Amino acid sequence: MLSVTREGAYGDLLGRYFELPSAPSLVMLPALDAPATGAESFMAPFVVTRITCLPDQLGMKREIPPEDAFLVTLHLVGMRHHETWVRGRPSVVRGYVPGALGIVDLRDEVASYLGNPLDALQFYVPYTLVRAVARAAGMARVSGLACAPGLVDPVMCSLGAAVLALFERPQRAGSRVQQHLALAICAHLVHRFGNNDDVTAAASRWPLQLQHLQHLH
């Protein structure tokens, strides 16, 4: 039976897995005008955390206990050496350029080894939210998110810049700006990185609202 954490791997809790005393985060519920069917799934916590590890904070980090969510990393600065460990073994060993992405399935007992300083946005995306957005887009068979490690996606770079602006100019939690941006990010992640064999056909059936939100970057 899957062991899940009492809280999700975001905010200060995610910071502690990186041996940080705290980590700034934004809780962004993509609930604005959610479809009636499965609307409660749109209330799943979609959270962006900024993780910054300095030169004296490198090395092996704590394993994140498994839970039903994805962690999407958008690197803000380049790093020559980073290791993603899965179930106690190194899985991806590589460097990252600014704007590069990584997606991990948190059910897989993930940890990181930092060979260089890290500055990244970590997007916490619950499975329930992935499925809700996929259903709204007519992509019923999407069961997860995946991408080639190190991929640079211009849309996520633009959306990440918008998120950074919110960190600098905080708004009321659950504001319409945050809701629109959260839904835009989730829609793009599912459309671009959802593991569906019929993504192209499904894209033509996106509800008009989600199609519009994809371009709010």
Question: pLDDT digits over 85-134, tens only?
Answer: 999 999 999 999 999 999 999 999 999 999 999 999 999 999 999 988 88
What is the domain partition of the chain in residue ranges?
Answer: 11-213
Output DSSP code: residue 25. Answer: E
- Residue 45 Cα to chain centre, angstroms: 11
**How many angstroms separate the CA atoms of 207 and 198, rounded?**
16
> Domain 11-213 classified CATH 3.40.109.10?
no
Structure confidence at residue 176 (pLDDT): 81
Distance CA(145)–CA(131), nearest Å, equals 10
Q: Do the bridges between strand 89-96 and strand 79-86 make them parallel or antiparallel, or are there none, so unpaired?
A: antiparallel
Q: State the pLDDT at residue 92.
A: 96
Check residue 197 and give its pLDDT: 47
Could you tell me where the DSSP H helices lie in the chain? Answer: 11-17, 127-136, 154-168, 176-193, 199-203, 208-213
φ/ψ bin of 106: left (φ > 0), alpha (ψ from -120 to 50), beta (otherwise): alpha
Q: Which residues of the chain have pLDDT under 50?
A: 1-6, 32, 34-37, 40, 197-217
pLDDT at residue 196, rounded to an integer: 61
Tokens of 164: 């950074």
Q: 27-44 in b/e burial notation, b at 16+ Cβ within 10 A?
A: bbbbbbebeeeeeebbeb
Helix count (H) and strand count (E) of the chain?
6, 9
